[in-house]
Each structure stands twice: as C-alpha cells, then as structure tokens.
Amino acid sequence: MEIKEIQQEIVEEFSMFDDWMQRYEYMIELGKSLPLIDEKYKTDDNIIKGCQSKVWVHAELENDKLVFTADSDAIITKGIIAILIRAFSDQKPQNIIEADTEFIDEIGLKEHLSPNRANGLVSMIKQLKLYAVAYQTQLN
C-alpha cells in the first residue's frame, strides 16, 4: 500500500473513537505491539534528540525499500512511533521524503506536533525523513 492509503486507513480507524480516552487507549495498545528494535541498535547514536522520553530508531534498506524499527521507554511515545512506522516503513525512500504528515492532525494528535520539547513527534518525523534522504542519496 502507498503511504497515502495507509494514512487514510489510520485516520478511518481513529475516527471510530468518540473521545480522547479511547484514542489514547488504542495508542497505548499500538505501543505495546510495536515491533521492537534489535537490542544492538538501542545505542546512544540511535537516540532521537528532542524527546522527553528516549526514542531509538533504526533504518535498514531491504531491496529498494526502507524498513524502520524503533523503541521508546514511554508507552504513549511508543504508540506514536507505531503509527509513524506503520505509515512510513517498508516504503521507497523517495516516497517517504515526499510524504506529508497531516494525518497526525486528523487523528486528533495535533498536540504532539507542537514544537514543545516535551514531546518529540516533530523530531521523530524529521529523523525518519533524514534516513530516507540518506538512503535515497545512496541509491542514486
């Protein structure tokens, strides 16, 4: 599936929830089921700066697609990463670079997009895109 389609799917899933409680409970569930990063990649080098909780991201090229794995020590953050990874992982780097992130707003997680240093969603998206740029350069 293309990034846009996956994002639409996520938006539809979240639209079923009536209130923030259900949205957050779902996010926490997603966080718990996040495919974990290999322990060997949980290094300081792989920590995303700018998050109050620790976030590790690892990217690997499989065929011509970029696969992300990640982890965090905070469960809500893990939920956010799970959503991002679902949208961006296993995609061609160029598509990741070009993808927009408006769906975050649409699923009612806009507060996580604030430049407040307490949450690192903005840094996370930036990091995923940076990986994509790096691997795209490599492919070229």
Asked whether position 54 contacts another protein by CB under 8 A, the answer is: yes
Please report the DSSP string for 72-86 in residue order. Answer: ESSHHHHHHHHHHHH
Least distance in Å: CB of 62 to another protein?
A: 31
Tell me the chain's radius of gyration from C-alpha atoms.
Answer: 14
Respond yes or no: is residue 15 known to be catalytic: no
Interface segment toward another protein; rule CB under 8 A; list 1-9, 49-57, 59-67, 83-91: 49-57
Helix (H, G, I), strand (E, B) or coil at 57: strand
* Exposed / middle / buried, residue 44 (Cβ in 10 Å: 0-12, 13-18, 19+): exposed
Asked whether position 67 contacts another protein by CB under 8 A, the answer is: no
53-85 burial, b at 16+ Cβ within 10 Å, e below that, comes to bebbbbbeeeeeebbbbbbbebbbbbbbbbbbb
Among 16, 18, 21, 40, interactor with another protein by CB under 8 A: 21
Asked whether position 114 contacts another protein by CB under 8 A, the answer is: no
Asked whether position 20 contacts another protein by CB under 8 A, the answer is: yes
Partnered with residue 57 across adjacent β-strands are: 70
Which of 51, 80, 125, 132 is flagged as catalytic?
51
Nearest residue (CB) to another protein, 50 versus 67: 50
| Catalytic residue IDs | 51
Footprint on this chain of another protein (rule: CB under 8 A): 20-21, 24-25, 28, 52-54, 73-77, 118-119
